[in-house]
């Protein structure tokens, strides 16, 4: 008897590969599609965080991921783009999905300042970080640059603080206003706040009366102390604001540890001061 081995033809391999690629890109589509009611900048932040900056696509592959945007103008530009360039130079052979999205948004809305102006108030540190990323996206749109590597600007810092809840403005002022470098570096410093306990969480929530007495809801922080508590303790111990303004949470904690035990908080206390800056309370 003769054994016959059947090998797939080249055309069948290509068809199978095209089908597999189509299914894979369709799965990506569901992950990167703009949600109804989601702003353009929030969508781009989510796409960036999901890896759109690492997914390279030629034009034909991008076609398999349509529609991506719920904004009619952006979606139109996504279908019309044929090639992307590095500045005014060479064509990018296989741009990343994030670069495609940025180019479409810039085509539909050339004024990135107007896009940034749509970013409003926020309530929690995580929301604040997302807002900071959105502002970074707006600045990096023209170059298709992700938010993390964008340089911090004065306008970005004031807009972030203006949208912050009143309880967090004094806490963030000393971190945000002196900040230089990139959005990614500032995000890292803001995330440090959560390492020692974020104020206004269930663990740190306390109700105080006008005389500063604890009324209800007091819970110890399981050995943690908030940045606000450390800041307040240091100020009450006579440390000058300029000496601790802009310190990282780790350095602030080292300073706080040097205080005598009777000057260190065990429980959250109401803030002893408020930072006033005209640009933050407009």
| pTM listed for this prediction | 0.65
Q: Using one digit for the tens of pLDDT, what is the confidence trace for 45-78? A: 999 999 999 999 888 888 888 899 999 999 999 9
- pLDDT number for residue 26: 66
- Higher pLDDT: 263 or 95? It is 95
Q: Using one digit for the tens of pLDDT, what is the confidence trace for 149-201? A: 999 999 999 999 999 999 888 888 889 999 999 999 999 888 877 654 444 44
- pLDDT number for residue 185: 92
Do residues 165 and 123 make contact, with C-beta atoms less than 8 angstroms apart? yes
For tokens 């403005």, what's the residue? 169
- pLDDT number for residue 265: 64
In the numeric block, which tokens belong to residue 259?
């205080």
- Higher pLDDT: 271 or 97? It is 97
| d(C-alpha 215, C-alpha 268), whole Å | 12
| d(C-alpha 133, C-alpha 131), whole Å | 5
| d(C-alpha 231, C-alpha 75), whole Å | 48
Q: Is the pLDDT of residue 108 over 60?
A: yes
Q: Is the pLDDT of residue 5 over 80?
A: no
Do residues 84 and 186 make contact, with C-beta atoms less than 8 angstroms apart? no
Best CA proximity match to 231, nearest among 270, 281, 201: 270
């Amino acid at each position: 008897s003769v054994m016959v081995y059947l090998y797939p033809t080249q055309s069948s391999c290509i068809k199978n590969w095209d089908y597999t690629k189509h299914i894979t890109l369709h799965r990506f589509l569901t992950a990167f599609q703009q949600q109804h009611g989601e702003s353009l900048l929030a969508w781009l932040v989510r796409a960036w965080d999901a890896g759109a900056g690492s997914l390279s696509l030629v034009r034909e592959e991008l076609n398999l991921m349509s529609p991506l945007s719920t904004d009619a103008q952006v979606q139109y530009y996504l279908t019309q783009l044929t090639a992307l360039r590095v500045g005014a130079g060479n064509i990018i052979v296989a741009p990343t999905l994030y670069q495609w999205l940025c180019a479409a948004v810039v085509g539909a809305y050339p004024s990135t300042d107007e896009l940034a102006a749509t970013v409003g108030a926020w309530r929690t540190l995580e929301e604040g970080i997302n807002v900071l990323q959105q502002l970074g996206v707006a600045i990096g749109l023209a170059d298709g640059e992700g938010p993390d590597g964008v340089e911090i600007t004065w306008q970005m810092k004031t807009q972030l603080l203006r949208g912050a809840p009143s309880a967090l403005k004094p806490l963030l002022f000393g971190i945000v206003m002196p900040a230089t470098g990139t959005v990614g570096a500032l995000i890292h410093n803001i995330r440090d706040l959560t390492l020692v306990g974020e104020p206004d969480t269930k663990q740190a929530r306390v109700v105080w009366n006008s005389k500063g007495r604890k009324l209800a809801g007091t819970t110890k922080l399981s050995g943690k102390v908030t940045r606000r508590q450390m800041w307040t303790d240091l100020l009450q111990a006579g440390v000058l604001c300029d000496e601790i303004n802009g310190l990282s949470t780790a350095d602030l904690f080292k300073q706080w540890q040097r205080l005598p035990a009777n000057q260190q908080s065990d429980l959250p206390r109401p803030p002893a001061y408020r930072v006033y800056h005209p640009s933050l309370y407009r």
